[in-house]
Structure 1
Amino acid sequence: MPVEIHPTAYVETGAELGEGTRVGPFCHVGPHAVIGAGSELRSHAVVTGHTTLGENSVLHPHAVVGGPPQVIGFQETPESRLQIGNNCTFREYATAHTGIPKFGGLTQVGDNCFIMIGAHIAHDNHIGNNVVMANNVSLAGHITVGDNVWFGGLAAVHQFTRIGRNAFIGGGAILVEDVIPFGSVVGNHARLSGLNMVGLKRRGFDKAQLQEIRGAYKAVFTGDGIFKDRLAQAAVTFADKPLAMELIDFIRQGGDRPICKP
């Protein structure tokens, strides 16, 4: 299929457009942009910086991807990059920025992500696959988000936070601590409200798997003794249970980082 570029769009020399790409009215594509086959930029969308947009992705009006980090004094450089996977959607006014070279320089968004109106992905974030960010979610820099995480509208996340896969971040949550895989957090500041059971069931986790995750959760977050001791004991008790150990290892790998608790 041929590339379609509206007469009012501005595609700079050097940009690479895959087969079947459509660039709508008043869009801007920068000279270092690479856009995958079958992707579409609707009116006034912008792909700038050293940015790769995967195949079959859609930017709605006024979405901007590839802008430089919001860091005072930052000088744009080829080492500052943004990589967006396949089948991603950025709705109106959603934004994603490139990374800072001294931290690796790469902001990354996985496949099949749905970024709603006004949501923001800051520099050096690493976002997994199948992540959904509702309207006006704001992610500060250096955040890691696992696969299948859902963010409710207006949630905001502090820099360097880690969020495990299959977690749910409630609408309006102000998140300043790490979130375990499978966890559900709500509030300002956000606290762990339990497990994301609805999301886990929707994704096909069976009864035995849910019991395993729930058992690890209870062992770590409830019962006698201090948190550190419960975590150590849970690592022994569930040593042969991979989903339980995913939760336990996530906490241990964070070192001294604070973790959301009930």
Structure 2
Amino acid sequence: MIHPSAIIDPSAKIGKNVEIGPWTWIGADVVIGDGCVIGSHVVIKGPTVIGEHNRIFQFASIGEDCQDKKYAGEPTRLVIGNNNVFRESVTIHRGTVQDNSLTQIGDDNLFMAYVHVAHDCMVGNDNILANNATLAGHVHVGDHAILGGFTGIHQFCKVGSYSFCGVGSVVVKDVLPYLMVAGQNAVPHGMNFEGLKRRGFSKSAILELRRAYKTIYRNGLTLADATAQLEQVAENEPAVKLLVDFIKASERGIIR
């Protein structure tokens, strides 16, 4: 299941039932979990840990040194979970010592062709990054988010869970959970209610989120006053609590 033309460093650890295609290079300090399928002409550099049942298509570069000029060859890491798909020419860089020396990706994500994930990014679970979406350094993405093709996320921004970035969006501030944004620079376009229905959110939760959107974006309140109002609702509605907690943790400010 490993093509004879593949080059694998003796220190690399390869799990059971792993397929490795021709002319692929697996470097030192790489761990690949059971059941992974790695195509041809892939480069994986360590220290990198890849979980189980991931699929990596041809010409992907996984775990390369970052493009930060401050990087001086320090031993930093990339950790990838399970059941992710990395399509053609995806690039994922390891972290830097200026952050936590770690780039991390969760489970069940789809990275379409030419997606770039820069150093120190944290990507959660079950996200879709469409073709050419780009995460700059230190970006955090929650769970169940969708980034349209050619979306660009500015460094240190956070993208909330269940959010949706339209094609070609330029994101320079934090994207609230559930929010739909688009444009250059991206602006709000309502909440992703159709996506929430598909995810099984209750009618009562969606109703409270509709009210929360109006509180934040349409009632003319300062963000501090809007958040104070939502805190009362958040005590009994977990969906709104996620929204409030995100606002409180935001450092760059939210798209508004």
Settle same-fold status: TM greater than 0.5: yes
Counterpart for residue 89 of structure 2:
93
Give the C-alpha shift of residue 146 in structure 1: 0.4
Local SS of the residue matching 2:225: helix
Structure 2 CA distance for aligned equivalents of residues 116 and 110 of structure 1: 16
Structure-to-structure mapping, 1:6-155, within 5 angstroms: 6-78=3-75, 80-155=76-151
Q: Could you tell me which runs of 5 or more consecutive residues in structure 1 were left unpaired when the two chains were aligned.
A: none
More deviation in 202-211 or 119-128?
202-211
Give the letter for the 1:10 counterpart: I
Give the C-alpha shift of residue 22 in structure 1: 0.9
Local SS of the residue matching 1:192: strand
Structure 1 CA distance for aligned equivalents of residues 229 and 193 of structure 2: 24
CA RMSD of aligned residues (A): 1.2
- 8 A Cα contact 1:216 1:238, kept in partner: no
- Residue correspondences, number: 256
Structure 1 CA distance for aligned equivalents of residues 149 and 236 of structure 2: 37
Local SS of the residue matching 1:103: coil
Counterpart for residue 167 of structure 1:
163
**TM-score normalized by the length of structure 1:** 0.94
- 8 A Cα contact 2:233 2:240, kept in partner: no
Which of residues 165, 185, 207 in structure 2 aligns to 1:189?
185
Structure 1 CA distance for aligned equivalents of residues 238 and 10 of structure 2: 50
16 and 237 in structure 1: CA distance in 2 versus 1, 3 angstrom threshold: closer
Structure 2 CA distance for aligned equivalents of residues 77 and 226 of structure 1: 43
Per-residue CA deviations over 1:140-163 (Å, capped at 9, x if unaligned) read 000110000111000000000011
Structure 1 CA distance for aligned equivalents of residues 55 and 73 of structure 2: 25
Local SS of the residue matching 1:193: strand
Structure 2 CA distance for aligned equivalents of residues 227 and 89 of structure 1: 38
Give the C-alpha shift of residue 237 in structure 1: 4.4
Local SS of the residue matching 2:103: strand
Give the C-alpha shift of residue 226 in structure 1: 2.8
Give the letter for the 1:16 counterpart: K
Which of residues 218, 243, 253 in structure 2 aligns to 1:258?
253
Local SS of the residue matching 2:98: helix
Give the letter for the 1:152 counterpart: G
Give the C-alpha shift of residue 73 in structure 1: 4.9
7 and 83 in structure 1: CA distance in 2 versus 1, 3 angstrom threshold: same
More deviation in 219-228 or 177-186?
219-228
Q: Percent same amino acid at aligned positions?
A: 39
Give the C-alpha shift of residue 124 in structure 1: 0.4
Per-residue CA deviations over 1:166-217 (Å, capped at 9, x if unaligned) read 1111110000010111111000000111101121111111211111211222
Structure 1 position 212 matched with structure 2 position 208? yes
Per-residue CA deviations over 1:84-140 (Å, capped at 9, x if unaligned) read 110111100001100002311010011001101000000000000001100000100
Structure 1 CA distance for aligned equivalents of residues 36 and 147 of structure 2: 25
- 8 A Cα contact 1:178 1:258, kept in partner: yes
Q: Could you tell me which runs of 5 or more consecutive residues in structure 2 were left unpaired when the two chains were aligned.
A: none
